[in-house]
Amino acid sequence: MENYTCFKDLPPGMTRVGRLQSIFGEQVTLIQVAWGEKRPIQKEFQKLDVEVMRDPEHLRMLEGSNIGILVGPASGNLISIDFDEEEAEKEFCEANPDIVETVRSKGSRGANYWYLISGDYVDKIVKLKRDGAEVGEWRGGGGHTVVDGLHPSEVPYYISSAHPVKVIEFSDIHWPENWEIGSLEEGDSEYDALVQEYGPPVEQGKNGGIALNEGFVVGWILRENDLLYDLDLGAFFTFSNAEGIWSKLDSKEMEKMIAIYLNRLARECEEAVRFKRNQRLIASIRQQLEAAAATRLRELRSQIQWHFYAALNGIVPVIPPDLPQAPIAFHRGYYLTEKSAIAFAPSQPCPRFLGELLTPVLDPDDIHLLQRVCGLVLIGPNDLQKIVLLEGSGLTGKSIYQLILDTLVGLDSVTQLRAENLTSRFELSRYVGKRLVAGRDVPPDFLRQKGAALLKALTGGDRLNTERKNSNDDVPLKGDLHAIITSNAALRVKVESDGSAWERRLVILPFERTSDPPKRILNFDQILLKEEGGGILNWHLWGAIQALQEIEAYGDLLMTDEQKDRIAKRVRESDLVGLFVEECIEKGGIGLSTEQLGASYREFCTSRGLPAESEMSFSKKLRSELEHRFQAQPTENFVTDAKSRKRGYYNVRFKENAGQG
């Protein structure tokens, strides 16, 4: 793209803000726009001016968002003319050859031409039309133009600065003859703007009745309220300035809001409207609001280009190599629906958490691994596809740690993992909008149950469709959830032909107490969070920092040889038939009957205190293992030492020290 550059082309040492100021001037007022969108993040952004550019926090937030220019007086009378199509741009250039050599910017199509206006001009946004069809906008004030970041079509915004911003007077502009330049004389009221976009609120019917324009009411509500409808959760959210998050509105609250606007319309416009207010009308307006405000909050959050944690007192950027000394302010562009109950306190320690809960039951390497893998749970999706097993006898603190982690993640973002129900019709819908699935004190065969394969999908990045009760629409679910499972016994996984995949995903942390447990402390998780909550959070976030550095350098978390061997051994033991063949059978000899092999296998399992596979499952897996390892084919006519014929395999034998049933 000739003469055009974007944020990816920054010279070394230059910030995105610095680049824009060098092009448009120091007088420009830059505002935060949601990444990949055109919607401003800041409330009442039209009231900002160049003074905001002195705020270090504002400048820092600009670097992580799309960036817009607040046009008009707020930026020293810098305006843009937006052309929706190349033909309109060409017509304007042909009519104005003396002023077209100026800064231009563009997204996916069309272009914006930038000018500094000297003297009087129209400081508002006006539609430009050709033969009744919109071809662009005059942006002279009260709005913004996005110039840096990512366009909704996922292409960068580009700027051509081959020429400086041209200084002109409004009268220097010659509009093409067939253009309608709208009301470039006097500003419209909010009501006029709504009528222009949606039509009048009510109209007289042919028989003298009142016909309500529901679209006007929808537009009115959206103009006066920060309102989004999350397609995944099937709920409306409104932004709370006090809390800094998007708060869920239940159906009664939405009905009340719509009713209030209908009453306002009746007072301000036509009393007869009051009699039209009924449940059918409210339901119709609600459906139109759902369509107009529809989005997926999870996808909007995923577009933020850096990791962060929503603490009670603000946003904590988690960007290696360090944590900040203080959190930054909440704003609507993070699209948060929940924040932690724990405040960020970077200097607070957590001596009881480490000294009384973890150190007595985990060795130092495992404490460090726990810190890193669970630190990642707090800051984003499960990109590493890990499944964390916290195992050990009772009274070792596993459940206490799980409760603490639940609080750090946010209770609304955690749900119970029910492997036995994963294949049922509506079960997957329980996981929509969650970050962590928790299996609590599960039995040893938990990961061998029928739905265990779906756990791999929930944590392995698969895209799933879920079915919600009382709805005909499928809800998409991306399988990037974290999974942490506690058990008093060693969990065996259901290994089919994917042992290496399980080795890659599992993290096993054995909680083992070497001395008698201390006196039980009731509600120890709540005590620790109350006394050391900020320190416990800080400890986990430092773990996330270290984990991100390891992922950047090595593509995964680093583990000790002992930790790797622990996982490999578990996977081998989970595949008991494969382990039996590996340890007990070798190539050679006359052969073995299926009866001999089955008896030896059961003895093998008994010696390890592990339950054997069913006879049918054993026979199927045995055949696969023997064919794969020794190219041994089954036969119905294997001749035993007793000269009888049975099912069996030729050219395999027991190893010298292996049991023979």
Instruction: List beta partners, residue 593.
Output: 648
Of the two residues 564 and 120, the one the predictor is more confident about is 564
Residue 660 has pLDDT above 60, yes or no: no
> Span 488-504, mean pLDDT?
83
DSSP state string for 132-176: TEEEEEEE-SSSEEEEESB-TTS-B-EEE-SSPPEEEEGGG----
Residue 45 has pLDDT above 50, yes or no: yes
Question: Does domain 575-654 sit in CATH 1.10.10.10?
Answer: yes
Residue 409 has pLDDT above 80, yes or no: yes
- In this prediction, residue 187 carries a pLDDT of 46
- What is the C-alpha to C-alpha distance for residues 570 and 494, in angstroms, rounded to an integer? 11
CATH number of 351-570: 3.10.20.30, 3.40.50.300, 3.30.70.100, 3.40.50.2300? 3.40.50.300
Average pLDDT, the chain: 88
- What is the C-alpha to C-alpha distance for residues 216 and 196, in angstroms, rounded to an integer? 10
DSSP assigned state of 353: I
- Please classify residue 221 by burial: count the beta carbons closer than 10 Å to its beta carbon, then call 0-12 exposed, 13-18 middle and 19+ buried: buried
- In this prediction, residue 437 carries a pLDDT of 95
- Please classify residue 135 by burial: count the beta carbons closer than 10 Å to its beta carbon, then call 0-12 exposed, 13-18 middle and 19+ buried: buried
Output the CATH code of domain 4-187: 3.30.2250
Residue 602, SS3 per DSSP? helix
Domain with CATH 3.30.2250 in the chain: 4-187
Domain with CATH 3.40.50.300 in the chain: 351-570
pLDDT, tens only, 175-215: 998 887 765 544 455 676 777 778 888 776 666 566 788 99
Residue 573, SS3 per DSSP? helix
- In this prediction, residue 207 carries a pLDDT of 66
Of the two residues 344 and 38, the one the predictor is more confident about is 344
- What is the C-alpha to C-alpha distance for residues 466 and 245, in angstroms, rounded to an integer? 26
pLDDT, tens only, 326-376: 998 888 888 999 999 999 999 999 999 999 999 999 999 999 999 999 999
Of the two residues 204 and 13, the one the predictor is more confident about is 13
- In this prediction, residue 209 carries a pLDDT of 62
Which of 485, 513, 655, 520 lies closest to 587, judged by CA?
Answer: 655
pLDDT, tens only, 428-468: 888 898 999 999 999 888 888 877 778 888 999 888 888 87
pLDDT-derived band at 253, boundaries 50, 70, 90 = very high
- What is the C-alpha to C-alpha distance for residues 434 and 526, in angstroms, rounded to an integer? 22
Which of 281, 325, 263, 19 lies closest to 157, judged by CA?
Answer: 19
- What is the C-alpha to C-alpha distance for residues 46 and 40, in angstroms, rounded to an integer? 10
- In this prediction, residue 185 carries a pLDDT of 46
Query: Of the ranges 19-33, 215-229, 608-622, which one carries the lowest mean pLDDT score?
Result: 608-622
List, in sequence order, every beta strand (DSSP E) within 149-269: 158-160, 166-169, 179-180, 202-204, 210-212, 227-230, 235-240, 245-249
pLDDT, tens only, 554-603: 999 999 999 999 999 898 888 889 889 989 999 998 889 999 999 999 99
Whose tokens are 């480490």? That residue is 354
With pLDDT > 90 as the criterion, what percentage of the chain qualifies?
55
Domain with CATH 1.10.10.10 in the chain: 575-654
Residue 301, SS3 per DSSP? helix
Do 115 and 78 form a contact (C-beta atoms < 8 A)?
yes
Query: Of the ranges 344-348, 509-513, 641-645, which one carries the lowest mean pLDDT score?
Result: 641-645
Do 517 and 327 form a contact (C-beta atoms < 8 A)?
no
Instruction: List beta partners, residue 466.
Output: 475
Q: DSSP H helical segments within 269-319, as ranges?
A: 279-292, 297-302
Query: Of the ranges 21-25, 109-113, 261-265, 646-650, which one carries the lowest mean pLDDT score?
Result: 261-265
Most confident region among 38-47, 233-242, 406-415 by mean pLDDT: 406-415
- In this prediction, residue 276 carries a pLDDT of 63
Which of 489, 368, 387, 371 lies closest to 436, judged by CA?
Answer: 387
List, in sequence order, every beta strand (DSSP E) within 7-118: 30-33, 66-70, 78-83, 104-106, 111-118
Q: At 148, list the tokens.
A: 């840096």
- What is the C-alpha to C-alpha distance for residues 591 and 593, in angstroms, rounded to an integer? 7
Of the two residues 155 and 202, the one the predictor is more confident about is 155
Angle between helices 214-224 and 251-268 (to 10 degrees): 110
- What is the C-alpha to C-alpha distance for residues 409 and 382, in angstroms, rounded to an integer? 13
Strands 506-510 and 387-391 come out as: parallel
Q: Which amino acid is at 113?
A: Y
Q: What are the C-alpha distances in Å from 540 to residues 342, 350, 546?
A: 12, 11, 10
- What is the C-alpha to C-alpha distance for residues 345 and 313, in angstroms, rounded to an integer? 9
Whose tokens are 């495992």? That residue is 366
Q: At 290, list the tokens.
A: 């759902």
- In this prediction, residue 456 carries a pLDDT of 86
The H or E element containing residue 584 is: helix 576-584
With pLDDT > 70 as the criterion, what percentage of the chain qualifies?
93
pLDDT-derived band at 274, boundaries 50, 70, 90 = low
- In this prediction, residue 42 carries a pLDDT of 77
- In this prediction, residue 562 carries a pLDDT of 97
- What is the C-alpha to C-alpha distance for residues 118 and 78, in angstroms, rounded to an integer? 10
pTM for the model: 0.69
The H or E element containing residue 656 is: none
- In this prediction, residue 92 carries a pLDDT of 95
Query: Of the ranges 260-264, 270-274, 398-402, which one carries the lowest mean pLDDT score?
Result: 270-274
